[in-house]
Amino acid sequence: MSQNDPGNQGRSEEDADDVRLMQLLGRGDTQAFEKLIEKHQTLVAGTVARMLGSSSDVEDIAQQVFIRVWKSARRYVPRAKFTTWLLKITRNLVFNEMRRTKRHPHVALQSETGVEDPPLKDETNLAPDASLLESELQQVIEEAIQRLPETQRMALVLRRYQQLSYEQIAEVLDLSVPAVKSVLFRARTELRSRLSKYLN
């Protein structure tokens, strides 16, 4: 598939549909905008949530991503896959937010996670201890991912949770494929060392 083809030849049906919706949106079609949100809000909100953790800003940032899509529609040129372009916008807004909260840290409410966890024990068939350990491990993994530098975190989220190829991640992060592999290797090494006591 030719990545730089501005037309629709060689595009997947899915991507050609996104390009068509963007062209309609560029002409002011609000239904096309609603369809794009419907199709891609899980990708955007999921990526934002994995990057920022369970903060209340997730919905707000995801909304801002689509506002950018709306504002860019008239100038949109389909050089890369639509979802790659969409994830680039997401990346920029997420990185801005991470830098902003680093400057103005807010205290995370422990109760948010604490209150939600215990019911898991009753709903699963695991023994209570195993269930608790499972949810604790999940939380530790999430926290370890949150501590990674932003580029490593984004690469890991796109690879692990969104199943993007190295080539797509390279485009989203403006890196070469070897650089992406190196970033992912460092991220996984870092996670392994943080989770070593759970993995033994």
Domains of the chain in start order, with CATH, are: 1-107 (1.10.1740.10)
Average pLDDT, rounded, for the chain = 83
- Give, for all 200 residues of the chain, the pLDDT tens digit: 344 444 455 678 999 999 999 999 999 999 999 999 999 999 999 999 999 886 668 899 999 999 999 999 999 999 889 999 999 999 999 999 988 877 765 544 433 333 333 333 344 445 556 676 677 777 888 888 889 999 999 999 999 999 999 999 999 999 999 999 999 999 999 999 988 877 76
Burial 40-54 (b: 16+ CB within 10 A, else e): beebbbbbbbbbbee
Q: How far apart are the first and last CA of the chain?
A: 44
pTM: 0.77
CA–CA separation, 146 vs 48, rounded Å? 12
66-94 pLDDT tens trace = 999 999 999 999 988 999 999 999 999 99
